[in-house]
Amino acid sequence: MARYNILYNSLAANGNGEENAKKLRDILKGDELRFEDVTKVDDYKAYFEEFTSEDIFVLCGGDGTLNRFVNNTKDINVPEHIYYYPAGTGNDFATDINYKEADGIVEISNYLKDLPTVIINGKEELFLDGIGYGIDGYCCEEGDRLKETSDKPVNYTAIAIKGLLFKFKPANATVSVDGKEMKFKKVWLAPTMNGRFYGGGMMPTPSQDRASKDRHLSLLVWHGSGKLSTLSVFPSIFKGEHLKHDKMCKLFTGKEITVSFDKPCALQIDGETVKDVTSYTARL
């Protein structure tokens, strides 16, 4: 009988993280399961020291859960094998690695190594999926506001559409990719991606491969378009077909990418919101 330590996020999936994690009782039937809420783990070094090599660890949550785990453990030795069970809202990481429900738990140890970093306001963090800047950051900011006032699931697509039509104002941007500087006007989106997906299924950089031997980051700059033309093309981002509109959608790849807006805007890191950001630098 194996011994599994389930590190779940009680805040994931609009507060249903624990309930989702308990589904593992059926998936891992017959094994010993110990459940631990990651929001209550203050010291991962001390936490892992309590276990033996026979213990198996499963992260259970969404993209934000994974992001917090890698950042909270980046300076310590973690178990060699880490498994994952998607139990968040968007689960973009799971989608990117082609996870299927029939897979149960999957090992993700290799995906947690050599992650890219992003520097925002002088603070450096690791990220798994991507850095959203523009209307995607705005959507996360609005989503957080709605969560504070309601327990209903947040419809980010509806927020994006309303933002495009009414509230969100595009910014001018200066972009640097491996030292090459470019300027863009009326920038709606400027995400830098390590994976293909973010925002619950949007695919801004469909050819990005986090497991490629020739690793790089991908940047989408969506710029210059008006509200109605942006809105008409926007749904195609869920299939990665927005890049056909090459006058408004530009794709760049590189090892170091800096994006600066001419006014503060919300930004998201693997779905976690950072407000009032004027620039970020992502690096491999």
Rounded CA-CA distance 85/73 in Å is 19
How much is the pLDDT for 21?
95
> Domain 3-112 in CATH: superfamily?
Probable inorganic polyphosphate/atp-NAD kinase; domain 1 (3.40.50.10330)
How much is the pLDDT for 153?
74
Rounded CA-CA distance 197/282 in Å is 17
Domain ranges of the chain: 3-112, 117-283
How much is the pLDDT for 74?
94
Rounded CA-CA distance 41/84 in Å is 18
Write down the pTM of the prediction. 0.94
- 3-state class (DSSP) for residue 28: coil
Equal CATH topology for 3-112 and 117-283: no
Residues 233/225, Cβ–Cβ less than 8 Å: yes
How much is the pLDDT for 249?
98
Fold exhibited by the domain 117-283: Tumour Suppressor Smad4 (2.60.200)
pLDDT tens for the chain, residues 1 to 284: 789 999 999 999 888 899 999 999 999 999 999 999 999 999 999 999 999 989 999 999 999 999 999 999 999 999 999 999 999 988 999 999 999 999 999 999 999 999 999 999 999 999 999 999 999 899 989 988 888 888 777 788 888 888 888 889 999 999 999 999 999 999 999 999 999 999 889 999 999 999 998 999 999 999 999 999 999 999 999 999 999 999 999 999 999 999 999 999 999 999 899 999 999 999 99
Closest CA to 232 of 169, 161, 178: 161
How much is the pLDDT for 89?
86
